Structure 1
């Protein structure tokens, strides 16, 4: 077998996992308001079990409520009333041969006061993140009470039909708040030395083992390296685990704390499997199975990690959100159809942590129902014409063709993929290329989808195709306001002033940018991408933003990463500052009525994007009386994120329903 290690079983106590791919616990905000699992939530997990995943570890469930809860709709396991619905989940998972575990947790200082209605608790009075709520140190009697709650919760997990239980001891939650010297400032038997800081975790493990018996597997999730100054290093953690090793069957080796979140929920530019060395260190010292995670997208990478002894199980979290059928596709030699996660963190971490929304996915427009739309079929001959071959247009065209429409797509460029393909030219954004590559392969496999590249759509050509639906997906162009000197200088061959497209079309010119003065106007996503590119080339970079902060609309992971890059590379930041004039070698800017010149070797104006829909109004007028539905999607409707255009592309189904084709 090509991937013999991936598809070998693993026995842990009385549980046998059929392959080495696991879905680690990730919050979803899918649970009901009372903390009970519901039908949509079960269906979400069912898709991943159906797709061949060996073990699914269900997202963290609170052992105490409200003190132990985090998130807006978190699962609970603090009362017997939650067990019947959880049994329905395990029953469903087992039908597909998947093993299923549940992570149990107490959030401690990571709880939000407004949500729990009281002050959070912790080992000490140190917030779990910069700017977080100040917690109250737990009394000894309270600690013992929480230990008992972990045991009761684990027994519920076992009784509800789960195959294993995972104790969360990382990621800035309560047990981690005792283990980490960043948080634990106690001077009693629960603080100070490594042995004392490990005491609470040791008691929890013992409480869980007493509750579930000797043959029920116990997993322990840890932040092996906290990746913060003053925090536990990998070497420290290996010493801590000497006190925790007994009765733990599998170590789930993760990393980071809240203030280093971009290394916990991996940023896009981190390599596949980048933290597997941590797992190997734990595995070699304790001779127990370990799980590693970290941007693992390709089966070759997973197979190598296993064959080289870095880990025994591969945790693929966001990858299985993007494609729940990853395992079956690898097993059936259909790797080229995998929707590989971009690590964009927009619909998963960005929705859940930053916006308190249920998770979504850029690559996968329906994380709950997956490909059920493909069961639909048009009831009558229906022709769909799509204008624009970016990601939104490709998704619309593929979806329409997949339900039986005769579909035509016009793209005036010689290639497909739109802005996503362009942005992926930036080294740290190369994963974005996964999306257009996947969509193009998908399109190429549809015989009823005809694509015209190098072809500008016009009304006559469209009318000749006798469309029932026209999808306008013509994207966006850089926003260039009428600032003095801008329009006559930007992207001109004799000037050194560029838009984002000017950068992407002249990458060779900027290969050696060390010590060059670079000034970027615009502190949104695009401007920060340019800053990242040149900061890592050791240019002398400045960024100008009219608003009081940078990256206002970024997801939480990307923003943390960008701010870290700015700090480490000493980027000069000018917020509350407006561009007033563009010269050939400097920008004139104004702050608080004071003007100054910012000199540059290369200047970039990245003030966002504007919708580009050159023939939309003509289409609407021409086809208004012809019983043709004209819809406008993606950036050509309103400039937003790729995830929004992808969702609108899939929603062509709703238009087909509206006109009675489905």
Structure 2
């Protein structure tokens, strides 16, 4: 597009020419086979991003020293030549769409995946774990360091032989090279420790060995943590100094940030602004003007992306989770379809949490199919079909749009004046505003479909079914706050003038909750919703904030990144935490709680919030079931109205509705054929 010309300017690096300025950085997926090879779905995942217009696809970090350097539950390997055919096929597929390719070679060091080490102790610069609570590694002997340097070179040469256009060396994020660079990990007293020059020696030797292996014309990228964002770690200024020690042979400097114990700034938490990390890239660019510089960090908006390039902060933009959510980001922006961008909301649930915390294959809250994207649209219905969707939350919208896109005549009913349900309501918290990006996309997508009608301010009545005669009914009426029969709770919530509130009180009337200074806040419930309230008040200067949780920890079911960021807020703002504590009674201006030792305590407040989770809300379901049974109509109950969960599960269930649609279409088609044959005979 003309207004974003900076995004679409080509860039030549050595003998590699990129068609635009958007690249896909390496992101672990847990898609690989256990033996470290590709499978069909893994390949298809990358193919979608290449097809979508991305200029450079960087394959997730690949193990070149097995098992000591491995990272993740399942990881691609290239530690011997038997993996070259699979990598070659990967490159053929990417190149077919005009994308260039790179691969990240990485040694995990102390971050090595424990189950793969076959009883061996992980290695590092020193005996410091790469993360609090992780196993203690052993320091590498000098001879072992040089052996690993040689393996980096072998890995880079193997990448070149496999058809990659570039190679990236990972020197950040608490992996082995980072463990040498950072004073937090490196406690050595030999030539590989102590001064910045010595701590940089391993990185320098690796880069030099890789350059010797691949020759002068093959681009080399180095990714590093520009600011470790931990006390005692490398600052941005420190990193600029150490880069002078090892960046000479590199062509591309990929500017990232943080270590394992500051992970919420490496895998950016939701409330960090678009391109927040670009100031780091700008500093690197100013110090190394001859190098190509990459920046990243929650870049979602084409306008902000173009600004970063126009301002000279960076030469290339790395969109990681953004391309998981929207593989067609480049093509949509270039074709004037910005309103149809399915922007990543930085929730970190299906990507980071699935892979790092739960050892699952990655998924996405807003993108229900990472492998085959829009392939379902290729098979349109053969028979006319009607669908009624009750509820306009994220699950209802996804179901309605997906069905309409394959030819179903859809009517959606929402009793409120707005769409998006609980997702839109949670997005009213300033730190959760990105959630609305998904809902905006869903609404824009629905508006493109002439066979989809949306009725706002219109509760659905069961007697309308006899008139509509739908073939499929989708119930997606969402959830409601869980309010147990605690003494005094219902009485306090029923008062007109009160100090006790549920989560919907604040979400639906944010204008009434704008006073912070001098306020004492107590939140009952240490799950996602309760912590959102704590975040809202603590960050805005409330005098005292307390949170009560019946379980032994806060945020037990939160994703890894959100939990880290919430615990940072709890610690930084001095939030009073009561775990293993239960609410006994609610009074006008205080909660009576019982602590783990059986002692009672009164917690007084100016504002008290009861946030004990959500429960499914499906008031029409019994009547719908009766109608469906009587008329042989397909009835699907999805999203929170089935079980109160997160947006991701509802989105997946909503997309699965089309499988039911296709089954019904097949049945209707076969019935029609049978009727036609009966009429003939």
Taking structure 2 as the reference length, the TM-score comes to: 0.96
Q: Which residue of 2 aligns with 1:210?
A: 212
Q: CA offset at residue 462 of structure 1?
A: 2.1
2:102 alignment partner in structure 1: 101
Q: Which residue in 1 is equivalent to 2:139?
A: 137
After superposing the two structures, state which structure 1 stretch, 469-478 or 112-121, moved more: 112-121
Counterpart residue number, 2:440: 437
Pairwise CA RMSD of aligned residues?
1.0
Within a 5 Å distance, the mapping from 1:165-244 to structure 2 comes to: 165-244=167-246
What residue number does 1:414 align with?
417
Aligned ranges 1:446-485 → 2 under 5 Å:
446-485=449-488
Report SS of the residue matched to 1:5: helix
1:457-606 mapped onto 2 (5 Å cutoff): 457-490=460-493, 492-539=495-542, 540-591=544-595, 592-606=597-611
Question: Contact (CA 8 Å) 2:73, 2:113: kept in 1 or not?
Answer: no
- Residue in 2 aligned with 1:115? 116
Partner residue of 1:614?
619
| 2:74 aligned residue | 73
Deviations 1:533-564 (A, max 9, x none): 00001111000000000001111000000000
Pairing partner for 1:650 from 646, 655, 666: 655
Once the two structures are TM-superposed, the CA of residue 492 in structure 1 deviates from its matched residue by 3.8
User: Normalized against structure 1, the TM-score is what?
Assistant: 0.99
**Structure 2: how far apart are the matches of 1:360 and 1:153?**
29
CA contact (8 A) 2:500 2:609 kept: yes
Q: CA deviation at 1:114?
A: 2.7
- Which stretches of structure 1, 4 residues or more, deviate above 4 A after TM superposition? none
2:335 is the alignment partner of 1:332:
yes
Partner of 2:405: 402
**Per-residue CA shift, 1:197-243, capped at 9, x if unaligned?**
00111111111111100000000000000000000000000000011
Q: C-alpha deviations, 1:598-623, integer Å up to 9, x for none?
A: 00000000000010000101110122
> Residue in 2 aligned with 1:627?
632
Which residue of structure 2 lines up, in the alignment, with residue 157 of structure 1? Answer: 159
Hey, what's the Cα distance between the residues in 1 that align with 2:662 and 2:310?
50
Question: Secondary structure of 2:521's match?
Answer: strand
| Alignment correspondent of 1:321 | 324
Q: Distance in 2 between matches of 1:219 and 1:599?
A: 56
Match of 1:271 among 273, 279, 282: 273
Name the structure 1 match of 2:93. Answer: 92
Give, in whole Å, the separation in 2 of the partners of 1:491 and 1:236. 58
Gaps of 5+ in 2: 668-681
Alpha-carbon distance change, 491 to 19 in structure 1, aligned in 2, over 3 angstroms: farther
Match of 1:639 in 2: 644
SS in 2 for 1:356: coil
Distance 1:119 1:495 in 2: 59
In structure 1, distance between residues paired with 2:666 and 2:501: 46
By how many angstroms is 1:456 displaced? 1.2
Partner SS for 1:6: helix
Structure 1 SS opposite 2:574:
coil
CA distance in 2, matches of 1:650, 1:42: 22
Give structure 1 stretches of 5+ with no counterpart.
none
Give the secondary structure class of the aligned counterpart of 1:651.
helix
Q: State yes or no: 1:304 paired with 2:298.
A: no
Aligned residues: 662
- Which secondary structure does the structure 2 equivalent of 1:607 belong to? coil
Which digits, 9 at most, give the CA deviation of each residue in 1:325-358, with x for residues without a partner? 0001111111000001100101110111111111
Q: Is the 8 A contact 2:25 2:59 kept in 1?
A: yes
**What is the Cα deviation at residue 661 of structure 1?**
4.2
2:676 is matched with: none
Once the two structures are TM-superposed, the CA of residue 491 in structure 1 deviates from its matched residue by 6.3
- Aligned position for 2:363: 360
Aligned counterparts of 1:631 and 1:348: Cα–Cα separation in 2:
27
Alpha-carbon distance in 2 for matches of 1:623, 1:6: 52
- Aligned equivalents of 2:468 and 2:359: distance in 1? 45
Q: Distance in 2 between matches of 1:383 and 1:615?
A: 19
For the 8 Å contact 2:394–2:421, the answer to whether it is kept is: yes
Instruction: Give the Cα–Cα distance (whole angstroms) in 1 for the partners of residues 655 and 332 of structure 2.
Output: 22
